[in-house]
Amino acid sequence: MARIVMKFGGTSVGSVERIKNVAQRVKAEVDQGNEVAVVVSAMSGETNRLVGLAQDIAPMHDAREYDVVDAAGEQVSCGLLSMALQDIGVQARSFLGWQIPVRTSDVHSAARIKEIDASLLDQKFSEGHQALVIAGFQGIGPDDRVTTLGRGGSDTSAVAVAAALRADRCDIYTDVDGVYTTDPRIVPVARKLDKITYEEMLEMASQGAKVLQTRSVELAMAHNVRLQVLSSFEDKPGTLVCSEDEIMEQEIVSGIAYSRDEAKVTLVKVADRPGIAAKVFGPLADAAVNVDMIVQNVSEDGKSTDMTFTVPRGDLARAVQVIESANSEIEYASLDTSATVSKISVIGVGMRSHAGVALTMFRALSDKGINIEVISTSEIKVSVLIEEEYTELAVRALHTAYGLDAA
């Protein structure tokens, strides 16, 4: 007997028919004698609808009430799946985040899971329950109010439940049959990976591949959770996310990710003296604006220089407000912004031991006439900022340039 966690995303539970299909998949695991915890997302489109309702009621709404509304989609899908399971003879019961409880931080709409007490779930299994259906994406904060984990957060719920239950594996069922070399929806010749390292998956997710939420990969890595991404519609092997020593043949570049959720800010002619960067980024940090790429040019006259950085697109207005109100300290000449940029990243642990990876990227982009606005690198990643309209062209060109296209 094994203990497993199965997670089904929005498309997988998007209709009554699909929920019944999910119930059959869960029953198949139960029939093998396994104890199954199932984590579900809201039915597809539902979270967007709820977010829209909150916006329409009051654009500057209270974050606590936003989470009460936002978490509602998962309550419906977990109740429905529990009913569907009972209907086909599986002993199932639903659980909301607060009932378990899934304890989180107090950052509403971007809460982090602090602790999951597994004792109730353990008790339910020992009483003979076969499938415990858990609402993903939600938890309960220090003040006992409902919290949510950020978009895509049900992946994180699933991995956290798997860690708490010491599950043998955590299977993430979704609308693609695994992790691909890049988003298969924009590059049809993308290849499915049999395995990917935690580190690469972490970079892929944090650079925009939404197949897994970044935090879920972090948790899986920290707790050694055996994580798989599989199709909820087809019965075939998916992708295993595992440690580097489980992978024999390592490609130099394993994948390409893109993110359109980017905006660029340039401070023209800021004073070139110690302390200025802290005066720019201090107030941004205080305002919880997450700065990503940063470049500062060499000063031509020794007095002033240009400084460029990127922020999530939704934070641009706030970032500008913060910078403008700090101008008396920063003393820049003007502020340029763009909300039509995107970030393209190539990722691979093989980069650690191979030179020339970035050069291939720069050549491939220049062959297509695509201008690079900002560059940043880490040990296993090179990212560039480009005009958003070239996103797909760039991803396709890089996919070919690194020899990733399927034969």
Using CB under 6 A as the binding rule, whether residue 131 contacts ligand ASP is answered as no
In DSSP notation, 212-233 reads S-HHHHHHHHHHT--EEEEESS
Q: Which residue is nearest to Mg ion (CB)?
A: 152
Q: How far is the CB of 61 from ligand ASP (least distance, A)?
A: 17
Does residue 178 touch ligand ASP according to CB under 6 A? no
In this structure, are residues 208 and 259 in contact, taking their beta carbons and an 8 Å threshold?
yes
Both tokens assigned to 121: 């779930």
C-alpha 379 chain-centroid distance: 20
Per CB under 6 A, does 208 bind ligand ASP? no
Sheet holding 102-104, edge to edge: 113-116, 102-104, 138-140, 146-148
- The CB-of-53 to ligand ADP minimum distance in angstroms stands at 20
Using only the alpha carbons of the chain, give its radius of gyration.
Answer: 23
Q: How many residues does the chain have?
A: 407
Kindly tell me which of 204 and 267 has the beta carbon lying closer to ligand ASP.
Answer: 204
- Which candidate, 174, 277, 274, 164, places its Cα nearest to that of 230? 174
Closer by beta carbon to ligand ADP, 130 or else 232: 232
- Considering only residues 139-158, where is the footprint of Mg ion by CB under 5 A? 152
DSSP state of 25: H
CB of 190 to ligand ADP, least distance (A): 7
User: Is 348 exposed, middle or buried (CB count within 10 Å of its CB: 0-12, 13-18, 19+)?
Assistant: buried
Token readout for 109 is 């709409």
Which range in 1-9, 24-32, 84-92, 291-299 contacts Mg ion by CB under 5 A? 1-9
Q: Does 14 bind Mg ion (CB under 5 A)?
A: no
Q: Which of residues 61-90 bind ligand ASP (CB under 6 A)?
A: 73
42 binds, options Mg ion, ligand ADP, ligand ASP, none, Cβ within 5 to 8 A by partner type: ligand ASP
Binding segment for ligand ASP (CB under 6 A), chosen from 41-49, 139-147, 236-244, 362-370, is 41-49
Alpha-carbon span 374 to 252, nearest angstrom: 23
CB of 15 to ligand ASP, least distance (A): 16
47 binds, among ligand ADP, Mg ion, ligand ASP, none (CB under 5 to 8 A by kind): ligand ASP
Burial class (CB in 10 A: 0-12, 13-18, 19+), 356: exposed
User: How many binding residues for Mg ion (CB under 5 A)?
Assistant: 2
180 binds, among Mg ion, ligand ADP, ligand ASP, none (CB under 5 to 8 A by kind): ligand ADP
Q: Determine contact, residues 159/219, Cβ cutoff 8 Å.
A: yes
- Identify which range of 57-65, 153-161, 326-334, 363-371 contacts ligand ASP by CB under 6 A: 153-161
User: CB under 5 to 8 A by kind: which of ligand ASP, Mg ion, ligand ADP, none does 136 bind?
Assistant: ligand ASP
Binding residue for ligand ASP (CB under 6 A) from 12, 109, 147, 154? 154
Q: Give the β-pairing of 131-135 and 227-231.
A: unpaired
Which is closer to Mg ion, CB of 34 or CB of 44?
44
Query: Is 3 one of the binding residues for ligand ASP (CB under 6 A)?
Result: no
DSSP-derived secondary structure for 166-198: T-SEEEEEESSSS-BSS-TTT-TT--B-SEEEH
Rounded-to-integer distance, Cα 392 and Cα 381, Å: 19
Burial class (CB within 10 angstroms; exposed 0-12, middle 13-18, buried 19+) of 64: middle
Figure out which of the listed residues 34, 47, 82, 109 binds ligand ASP, where binding follows CB under 6 A: 47
From 11, 12, 34, 41, residue interacting with ligand ASP (rule: CB under 6 A): 41
Work out how close the CB of 44 gets to Mg ion at its nearest, in angstroms, rounded to a whole number. 10
Enumerate binding residues for Mg ion (CB under 5 A): 9, 152
Enumerate binding residues for ligand ASP (CB under 6 A): 9-10, 41-42, 47, 73, 136-137, 151-155
